[in-house]
Amino acid sequence: MILNISVYAFIVLTALVILFQLCLAAGLPWGAASMGGKFKGKYPKKMRIVAILNSFLLAFFIIIILSRSTFAFSSLFSFSKIAIWFLVAFFVIGTVMNSITPSKIERIWAPVTLLQFITSLIIALN
């Protein structure tokens, strides 16, 4: 039960972050809520490309979660046994970075990355 809840929670949270990244890529003026608030307003063109790449990376994280939990992508299960620990570490770092960012609005992502860390750890340990 906890595994299922963790998988669904991770997917929902990560989909939310993907949506945010795609909004940045589309030119919405939310740059202050990302990258330490370095880019106020709309992202410059290079950063929009980075936001798209981030979206693909986050989608790949969902694939790892689905594989590790045996929900889907069974052919990647062996890979996911190692890759899941990369995700756990990634979200520990993300939680710290989002907690100490100079951008006050970006700190809204700290609880999201904390929950992504917790859910990925639960999945890794199952």
pLDDT above 90 for 8: yes
- pLDDT at residue 33, rounded to an integer: 92
pTM (predicted TM-score): 0.94
Q: Give the tens place of pLDDT for each residue, 14-64.
A: 999 999 999 999 999 999 999 988 998 999 999 999 999 999 999 999 999
Residue 1: strand, helix, or coil: coil
Rounded CA Rg of the chain: 15
Q: Give the tens place of pLDDT for each residue, 78-124.
A: 999 999 999 999 999 999 999 999 999 999 999 999 999 999 999 99
- pLDDT at residue 37, rounded to an integer: 87
Where are the chain's structural domains?
Answer: 2-125
d(CA 104, CA 65): 30
- pLDDT at residue 41, rounded to an integer: 92
